[in-house]
Amino acid sequence: MIAPTDIPDRTNLQETFVLNLGPQHPAAHGVLRIKMTMDGEYVTRAEPIPGYIHRMHEKMGENRTWAQFLPNTGRVDYLSALHYNHAFVGVVERAARIEVPPRAEFIRVITSELNRISSHLVWWSAYLVDLGGFTPLLYAFDDREKILDLLEAVTGSRLTYCYFRFGGLCNDIDDVFITGTRAFVTQMRPRLKMYRDLVTDNIILRKRLEGIGPISAELCRKYGATGPVLRGAGIAYDVRKVEPYSVYSQFDFQIPVFPEGDAMARYRVRMAEMEQSLRIIEQALDKLPAGPVMGKVPRVLKLPAGDYCYAVEAARGRHMVRVVSDNKEIPYRVKLRTPSFSNLSLYQEASKGMILPDALALLGSLDLVIPDIDR
Amino acid sequence: MIPTLEQLAERFSRLVATTAVLPQSPLPVTIGSTPAVAVAPPVAAGADHTIAPTAPPPPVQTVDYSLKGYHLDASISPRQVVLAAEILDQNGFALDTITGVDWIAQNEMEVVYDFFHPLSILRVVVRTRLRRDQPELPTISPVFPGANWHERETHDFFGIRFSGHPDLTPLLLPEDADYHPLRKDFTA
């Protein structure tokens, strides 16, 4: 690895050239453009240019009822839809003081953690394809398929879920789901061990990732980066622990933290997180209370005037919804604070002085979902 | 370096009690004339038990986290946003997001700054109001570089100008966009 300080700054000698990456580039995994100013093979300035898949979800929020906005939330970060469902139903329940039955909260946790595993599996396989290893994708998508089948049976969709409702869920889970999820947990543990033995501990991968793209905890704080990026910089910040929502405080799980701050640390955080998610799912299935999955919700939902926030730990970090209500059926303002936006904003600073392939290894280690940035 | 809520509330109360602004603040003299108390946003009736619903809310108030999702709500003058950001920076806070709200009926624009603390459960909301026809306030991007993109986005959607910002070209909108879609009078 070459430290950024070793690179002579020759920007002023006009020996640089501009390399356009995207908006259709396989390493961006979506329509993200990065304008790279290169000095030979070294990046002197990498300016991300987002906005190619901007859909103005926040304006859509201002011309439909609270409930009608719910399907939009699953389309912001399409790999982590249930977490975004959770944040939006959470903020409405907080404002309208809707009580959610415990069974519904447990099922929310189970399905959210399944969603987290499937999201991390997509990141893992796509990242390894970026780095030149194709085979893990075939294994990871096999595992992910099982999650999608489980979630499809209860939510009705395979990707852009809209399963949570204000006050609960639209469907209860059945025995098939419970048996299937238990079987998945049992199957997934040896698979994760296999991934660790064959990929994570592989000397080729470690030589490729260790020391690449260092991001310090201070840089994360200045840019508001969260999730595995922050935890890979040694800070145990996870909304599920720091700001417990739903019933997460009832489970015994750890927050994986790796202090190195490099791409390998971020990689390890996500791999260890999948194991913790399995633990949470297992405990939630064991403790799953009986009862209804829908609380009492007023037929016409108007939130008291004022503004309200609700944050969740999505697969990519802290996702916060801030709504402003003027006591009408339609939101006055919906703001979606998305983790990929903040995580990408530090890229220009973090990628300075890297060689191009390493800068792409850094980009992949941020686990970006482009619609999550553009909204 | 984790401050208590009381310490922060006290620090912000001192801030709003003064008219201190940064000497290098590049703010034009035409804006920010409204006192902070008068421009505080409406508070949910019954949500805050310490004051009567009709009374104007105090500029700095601690709020019930379980009802609102944050702990401290500070309404400050637009000139003081950099000072507020510096206070939070010194206390180890991270920038969560920056956004606007168009209060077209009052002819005002509100800019809302959300902060979170990476080591504790402490959420701070800093808000300020601007005249709607001249929405301009200083950038906090020298304090929090992450504010750069959030302010660009707020400029995209609301047309709020952040003076001193290094680059206010559209971030999410097309590069030639001259409209601000989250303004309440925007029509497609």
| HEC letters along A67-111 | HHHHHHHCCCCCCCHHHHHHHHHHHHHHHHCCCCCHHHHHHHHHH
**Average pLDDT of the residues in B176-188:** 86
**Average pLDDT of the residues in B92-114:** 91
Question: Which of chain B's residues have a Cβ under 8 Å away from the Cβ of A375?
Answer: 172
Asked whether residue A225 is assigned to any structural domain, the reply reads yes
Give the sheet arrangement for strand B72-75, strand by strand. Answer: B60-62, B72-75, B123-131, B108-116, B94-103
Segment among A115-129, A313-327, B27-41 with least mean pLDDT: B27-41
Give the pLDDT band of residue A14 (cuts 50, 70, 90): low
Q: Which residue has the higher pLDDT, B9 or A354?
A: A354
**Average pLDDT of the residues in A148-167:** 91
Segment among A292-306, B8-22, B111-125, B165-179 with least mean pLDDT: B8-22
For A204-222, what is each residue's pLDDT tens digit? Answer: 999 989 988 899 999 999 9
Asked whether residue A36 is assigned to any structural domain, the reply reads no
CATH number for the domain harbouring residue A291: 1.10.645.10
- For residue B179, pLDDT over 50 is answered with yes
Q: How many CB atoms lie within 10 A of CB A99?
A: 11
Asked whether residue A34 is assigned to any structural domain, the reply reads no
What is the least distance, in Å, from the CA of B174 to any CA of chain A?
7
* pLDDT at A322 (0 to 100): 93
Cβ separation A243–B101 shorter than 8 A: no
- Asked if A222 reaches chain B (Cβ–Cβ under 8 Å), the answer is yes
Task: Specify whether the CB–CB gap between B141 and B148 falls below 8 A.
Answer: yes
**Average pLDDT of the residues in A310-338:** 91
Bridging pattern class, strands B72-75 and B123-131: parallel
Asked whether residue A105 is assigned to any structural domain, the reply reads yes
Angle at A290 between CA A285 and CA A291, to 5 degrees: 135
**Average pLDDT of the residues in B119-136:** 88
* pLDDT at A133 (0 to 100): 84
* pLDDT at A124 (0 to 100): 93
- For residue B34, pLDDT over 50 is answered with no
**Average pLDDT of the residues in B154-177:** 90
Question: Which of chain A's residues have a Cβ under 8 Å away from the Cβ of B47?
Answer: 304, 306
- For residue B35, pLDDT over 70 is answered with no
* pLDDT at B45 (0 to 100): 45
Asked whether residue A224 is assigned to any structural domain, the reply reads yes
Q: Provide the number of structural domains found in chain A.
A: 1
What is the C-alpha end-to-end distance of chain B, expressed in Å? 48
Give the structural domain span for A217: 57-374
Bridging pattern class, strands A17-21 and A33-39: antiparallel
Cβ separation B146–A223 shorter than 8 A: yes
Bridging pattern class, strands A164-165 and A168-169: antiparallel
| Mean residue pLDDT across chain A | 89
pTM of the model: 0.85
The predicted complex's ipTM stands at 0.86
For A262-293, what is each residue's pLDDT tens digit? Answer: 999 999 999 999 999 999 999 999 999 998 98
Asked whether residue A146 is assigned to any structural domain, the reply reads yes
**Average pLDDT of the residues in B60-81:** 86
* pLDDT at B56 (0 to 100): 60
Task: Specify whether the CB–CB gap between A47 and A359 falls below 8 A.
Answer: no
DSSP string, chain B: ----HHHHHHHHHHHHHS----TT----TTS--S-TTTTPPP--TTT-TTS-TTSPPPSEEE--HHHHS-SEEEE--GGGHHHHHHHHHHTT-EEEEEEEEEETTTTEEEEEEEEE-TTSS-EEEEEEEEETTS-EEE--TTT-TTHHHHHHHHHHHH--EEET-S--S-SSS-TT----TTSTT---
* pLDDT at B28 (0 to 100): 43
The C-alpha atoms of residue A173 and residue A151 are separated, in whole angstroms, by 10
The C-alpha atoms of residue B188 and residue A100 are separated, in whole angstroms, by 39
What is the least distance, in Å, from the CA of A207 to any CA of chain B?
31
Bridging pattern class, strands A33-39 and A42-49: antiparallel
**Average pLDDT of the residues in A245-253:** 89
Give the distance between the most distant pair of CA atoms in chain A.
71
Segment among A7-11, A57-61, A146-150, B25-29 with least mean pLDDT: B25-29
Helix (H, G, I), strand (E, B) or coil at A49: strand
Cβ separation B145–A59 shorter than 8 A: no
Residue corresponding to tokens 């946790």: A109
What is the least distance, in Å, from the CA of B123 to any CA of chain A?
10
Cβ separation B101–A332 shorter than 8 A: yes
- Asked if B101 reaches chain A (Cβ–Cβ under 8 Å), the answer is yes
Asked whether residue A96 is assigned to any structural domain, the reply reads yes
Asked whether residue A24 is assigned to any structural domain, the reply reads no
Cβ separation B95–A224 shorter than 8 A: yes
* pLDDT at A71 (0 to 100): 92
A residues 128-157 closer than 8 Å to B (CB): none
Which residues, 6+ apart, have CB-to-CB distance to B26 below 8 Å?
B138, B163, B164
* pLDDT at B40 (0 to 100): 43
- Asked if B86 reaches chain A (Cβ–Cβ under 8 Å), the answer is no
* pLDDT at B52 (0 to 100): 43
